Amino acid sequence: MKLTAFFISIALTFSVATASSSDFSAHLAARESRISRPFTKSTNATDNGPLDGSTTEDLYSTNWAGGLLESPPVGQRFIDVGGTFVVPTLRGNDGAMSVWIGIDGGPNAPQSILQTGIDCYIIGGVNYFFAWFEWYPQDGFEITNFVVAAQNTITLRVQAVNSTTGIITLTNESTGQSGSLEVTAPDVDAALQGQTAEWIVEDLEQDGALVPLPSFGQVQFTDAAAFTGVVEDFASVGVAVDMVQNGGFVATSTINQNIVTVDYA
């Protein structure tokens, strides 16, 4: 993947490292275990309502929870997505999750995702956080010198310059650190369609299976909006995605105007 650093703030130049499949416990040393996947529909719930039988427009996924814009206005594409969240403090048993925003990867455009966010780990009671970006299906890249701590306020932005070129921007509002990268698609098959936009808490994958989702309390995306270049769509016109595993909820989501709230279940 071509990487071009084009914006520097408070002397930040992003440094990146490739991430690919490896043992989950080795991440702290090798920084290679993070694997993000497109939306995967849960087989334990239907689109007609959640497991409790109430009426809802929610979608159900085994690996995603959050907000999803399923399609832009007719004849348009999502080209700019943004949102802000507070990094959660993880508690309890070992686990891993990722908090990110992106373009594509939803049910209507699963072939690619341009995404950026923060990986969150708890190992032996200690929290670890790593900034990253990815143009799925290529492996992700960790941004090794973007410093993140629990309770930091992070603003994310993903822009599609065209279908094969994008810009990702991360800002730590708590420290003032900020920077952007221009990235290109791994190949033409991964070209963006601009058909979905997301604000997601994701359960990560290791060796083909989901890792334990840690107890994260709540993640709330504020200023959650997507742009087509013509109109601005707030998350409120999208649908909430609940995470369902083994027949039960593990994370539930609500959307109110431009706020997407994800609660650990």
Name the residues annotated as catalytic.
Answer: 202
Whole-number Å distance between alpha carbons of 209 and 37: 11
Radius of gyration of the chain (CA): 17
C-alpha distance from residue 37 to each of 57, 162, 200 (Å):
23, 22, 11
The answer to whether residues 241 and 61 touch, using CB atoms and an 8 Å cutoff, is yes
The span from the CA of 155 to the CA of 81, in Å, is: 11
For tokens 């143009």, name the residue: 135
Q: Is the Cβ–Cβ distance between 51 and 88 less than 8 Å?
A: no
Residues contacting 145, CB < 8 A, separation 6+ = 12, 13, 14, 15
Q: What are the helix (H) ranges across 11-64?
A: 27-30
Residue type, 46: T
